[in-house]
C-alpha cells in the first residue's frame, strides 16, 4: 500500500470567496476542537488545528479557496497529522476531514450553533465481530444454565 502524509478533498459551495473566507473564522468560536493556527500561510491558505479528544489525535487542516464565478467557490481541504506521521489507511483522518467539511457547510448556512459532528461508522469487521460475540455469549449462557440445573 502507498504511504502518505496527507489527504485532500475538494468540494463546492454556493457562496462568494469573500463570504467563505470570512465564515472560516467563525468556526473556532462555535466548535471547541477546531482552533485557528494561521490566517495567512505562505501558500495562501488558512490553517486550523483539528483535535479529536476521543482518539487523542491532532491534525492540521489547510483550507484554500478558489472563486469559480460570482456565487460559487471551490474549497480544498488538505489534512495532515500535526506531528507529520505517515499512514497507509486511516479512518480517523478521513472522518475528521468529513467533519471539517460539514462544519464549513453549517457555517455557510448560518447555523453553526446547531452543528453536530458526524458519527463515526463502525467497520464491517467490527459489526461481524460484535454479532459473533453476541451469538457465542447466547450459546454459552444456554449451556451454563443447563449445566447448573
Q: What is the pTM of this model?
A: 0.75
Q: Is the pLDDT of residue 139 over 70?
A: no
CATH class label, 7-118: alpha beta
* Segments making up each domain of the chain, as ranges: 7-118, 119-149
Tell me the per-residue pLDDT of 78-98, one tens digit each, with 9 for 90 and over.
Answer: 999 888 888 777 778 888 889
The DSSP code for 4 is B
* pLDDT tier, 1 (very low <50, low <70, confident <90, very high otherwise): low
Q: Where are the beta strands (DSSP E) in the chain?
A: 7-13, 34-38, 46-52, 57-69, 72-81
Tell me the per-residue pLDDT of 109-128, one tens digit each, with 9 for 90 and over.
Answer: 988 888 888 777 666 665 56
Q: Where are the beta strands (DSSP E) in 22-142?
A: 34-38, 46-52, 57-69, 72-81
Amino acid at each position: 500500500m502507498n504511504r502518505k502524509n496527507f489527504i485532500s478533498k475538494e468540494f463546492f459551495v454556493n457562496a462568494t470567496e469573500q463570504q467563505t473566507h470570512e465564515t472560516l473564522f467563525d468556526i473556532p468560536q462555535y466548535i471547541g476542537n477546531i482552533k485557528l493556527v494561521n490566517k495567512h500561510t505562505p501558500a495562501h491558505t488558512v490553517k486550523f488545528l483539528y483535535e479529536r479528544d476521543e482518539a487523542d489525535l491532532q491534525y492540521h487542516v489547510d483550507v484554500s479557496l478558489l472563486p469559480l464565478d460570482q456565487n460559487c467557490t471551490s474549497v480544498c481541504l488538505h489534512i495532515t497529522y500535526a506531528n507529520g506521521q505517515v499512514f497507509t489507511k486511516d479512518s480517523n483522518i478521513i472522518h475528521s476531514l468529513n467533519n471539517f467539511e460539514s462544519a464549513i457547510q453549517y457555517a455557510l448556512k448560518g447555523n453553526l450553533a446547531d452543528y453536530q459532528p458526524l458519527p463515526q461508522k463502525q467497520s464491517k469487521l467490527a459489526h461481524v465481530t460484535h454479532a459473533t460475540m453476541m451469538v457465542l455469549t447466547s450459546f454459552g449462557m444456554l449451556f451454563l444454565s443447563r449445566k447448573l440445573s
